[in-house]
Amino acid sequence: MARTKVVRTTVVRSGSISSGDRIWIFAVILACIALLFTILAVALPGWNGRSILKNCSTCLSTTVLSFIAMFLIFLGILLTVLFALRLITSFSDTIRISAVILLTLAGIFIVAAYVSIGRHDPTNYSYYLMVTAGIFTFVSSVLAAFWLGRNWHSV
Q: What is the pLDDT of residue 78?
A: 93
Per-residue pLDDT tens for 13-54? 544 445 556 888 999 999 999 999 999 988 888 776 777 777
Q: What is the pLDDT of residue 31?
A: 95
Considering the entire predicted model, what is its pTM?
A: 0.79
Per-residue pLDDT tens for 128-151? 888 899 999 999 999 999 988 877
Pick the closest to residue 62 from 142, 140, 129 (CA basis): 129
Q: Is 132 within 8 Å of 37 (Cβ atoms)?
A: yes
Per-residue pLDDT tens for 98-109? 889 999 999 999
